[in-house]
Structure 1
């Protein structure tokens, strides 16, 4: 019975370690917690853009990776680009903004 408990404990420990290592992040892939955090940041950024009356939010795409927000899409003017970067940089959780937007 003790040998069976030891085998079960060893198996459980190995499975737990594999699970935890599988959730760890790398430089190119997020861990589970980071993915959730980035999803929250993306949602906040989209809401901030939507709440800015001078911006057409449907034309701005938002992606977040480890707190770095990438904006892409086409807008009407350089003023819109500057405003979007300004609005996004004020959102809590945004570490930096990468601007890939283009003027139509």
Structure 2
């Protein structure tokens, strides 16, 4: 529950600092907010999962399509991140651009 609250606060702060600006590809402020909510949900689920690092994986959402980027230490972590994203409400598609790079 703490992770969800923290992720929600981060999302609210992000929206406040950007002024809810609509970016290229998003038709309305409502769509922007919806995409921000989806990204926050995915990140919160990463934070709750023991196998996925919410700190190394970035989440961006545009019109319900989630793009994952960053680094995973194993193929299993990369696959689990995509699985979590696909299972998140309102996600239409997942593009998994995570790079597998073993920990040093």
TM-score, normalised to structure 2's length? 0.72
Is residue 25 of structure 2 the alignment partner of residue 28 of structure 1?
A: yes
DSSP-derived class of the 1:61 partner: strand
CA distance in 1, matches of 2:75, 2:23: 35
Task: Mark the runs of 5 or more structure 1 residues left unpaired by the alignment.
Answer: 1-24
Tell me which of 74, 90, 93 is aligned to 1:93.
Answer: 90
Unaligned 5+ residue runs, structure 2? 1-21
- Stretches (4+) displaced over 3 A: none
- 1:44 counterpart residue number: 41
RMSD of aligned alpha carbons: 1.7
Contact kept in structure 1, 2:25 and 2:62, CA below 8 Å: no
Residues 60 and 67 in structure 2, CA contact (< 8 A), matched pair in contact too: yes
1:75 to 40, 57, 72: 72
- Cα distance 1:26–1:81, how it changes in 2: closer, same or farther (>3 A)? closer
Decide which of 40, 56, 60 is 2:57's aligned counterpart. Answer: 60
Q: SS at the partner of 1:58?
A: coil
Asked which structure has the greater CA Rg, the reply is 1
Mapped to 2, the partners of 1:29 and 1:87 lie a distance apart of 24
